[in-house]
Amino acid sequence: MLACLTLQVLPGPAQVLQPFLPRVAPNGPSTSIYNINGDFTIIGNTNLTLEDYSLNFQNNYPMVYIDEDNDPQTFNSSASTLVFSNENGADPSCSRVLFAGLYWTGRSSEEMEFQVTKSGITQTLDKREVKIKAPGQADYTRIRAQNDQIWFPESYQEQDGLYVGYADVTDLVQAAGAGEYWLADVALLEGTGGSIGFYGGWGMVVVYENAAMQARDVVVFDGFAYVESYLNQNNILDLQGFSAVASGPVSVKLGVMAAEGERGGTGDFFKLSGASTPGSLYAWNTN
């Protein structure tokens, strides 16, 4: 099995600004391929939405914060629940987290840091920082992108100002386990954002093992590809290094994080080509 974390952003010129490489926990196994009895999962949510939601509107219409945590000190917040599989009767409480990577992305101010005032409260938001609250925690923990990864442009002149942050949160998720995770104060702005529009959200990929589950190879790839889809440009991810059983059916599980795909737009999609059966192709829209 395969976990592929692409973080592709649309639209834009077809450039791979950060190569897609395997990602591992700093204190985890030395190999980039997790040969485990276990699985991976991806959770996440959006922290910005259309003020007047419509399936046909794009994000150059007025956007507003999603703020669901009932905390007046946060301007935007959303949650997602981490669940471990009970495959083969596995006890989820016995699952052990091997890797947890947190990603956030958006387009907002051209400045790396900027101030926002709402309801008489002023905050300085930083694209390189977010706040996370794990199950059982009463307060948020501030997380900063490690070594300014993955991509933080200086202005809208670089890939229309789309940014992607990454931080390893393996220790936090190992300690907290399954349950509801909150992410708040992604550096976003409300409004139209001109012709290109604002957007913002987050995702977390978790690799875990459980002796009762099936044996799998799991790899997390991440990077930053900027694709101008309406000009028929694309980026191909060549994923290698996986082993498979000598006989019998082989299945693939693919998880994808993508940003700036809009239901009202056209040309945004991700497709999987099957090498074992020439010409076979699977595709789905990322809007």
Q: Shortest CA distance to 61 belongs to which of 271, 263, 282, 231?
A: 263
- What residue spans of the chain are helical by DSSP H? 170-176
Average pLDDT over residues 261-285: 56
Domain tally for the chain?
1
- Per the CB < 8 A criterion, the answer to whether 187 and 161 are in contact is no
Q: Which residues pair with 222 in a beta bridge?
A: 21
Is 2 a residue whose pLDDT tops 60? no
Average pLDDT over residues 204-211: 96
Average pLDDT over residues 271-285: 50
112 alpha carbon, distance to own chain's centre: 20
Q: Shortest CA distance to 217 belongs to which of 170, 189, 175, 250?
A: 250
Is 287 a residue whose pLDDT tops 90? no
State pLDDT tens for residues 56-88.
566 667 889 999 999 999 999 999 999 999 999
Average pLDDT over residues 100-120: 93
* Bond before 42 cis per omega within 30 degrees: no
| Single-letter amino acid, residue 188 | L
Better pLDDT: 235 or 38? 38
* Bond before 62 cis per omega within 30 degrees: no
Among 4-13, 156-165, 227-236, which is the least confidently predicted range?
4-13
Better pLDDT: 27 or 30? 27
Q: Chain-wide mean pLDDT for the chain?
A: 82
**What is the domain range of residue 204?**
3-285
* Residues ≥6 apart with Cβ < 8 Å to 252: 1, 2, 272
Better pLDDT: 251 or 282? 251
Average pLDDT over residues 207-220: 93
CA 124 – CA 113 distance, rounded (Å): 7
What per-residue confidence (pLDDT) applies to 229?
A: 62
User: 3-state SS of the chain: helix, strand, coil percent to 5?
Assistant: 10, 45, 50
- Per the CB < 8 A criterion, the answer to whether 172 and 134 are in contact is yes
What per-residue confidence (pLDDT) applies to 278?
A: 44
What per-residue confidence (pLDDT) applies to 124?
A: 96
Is 9 a residue whose pLDDT tops 50? no
What per-residue confidence (pLDDT) applies to 1?
A: 38
Is 53 a residue whose pLDDT tops 90? no
Average pLDDT over residues 160-186: 95
Better pLDDT: 99 or 192? 99
State pLDDT tens for residues 119-159.
889 999 999 999 999 999 999 999 999 888 998 988 877 77
State pLDDT tens for residues 228-269.
665 666 666 666 666 666 666 777 788 888 777 666 666 666
What per-residue confidence (pLDDT) applies to 242?
A: 63
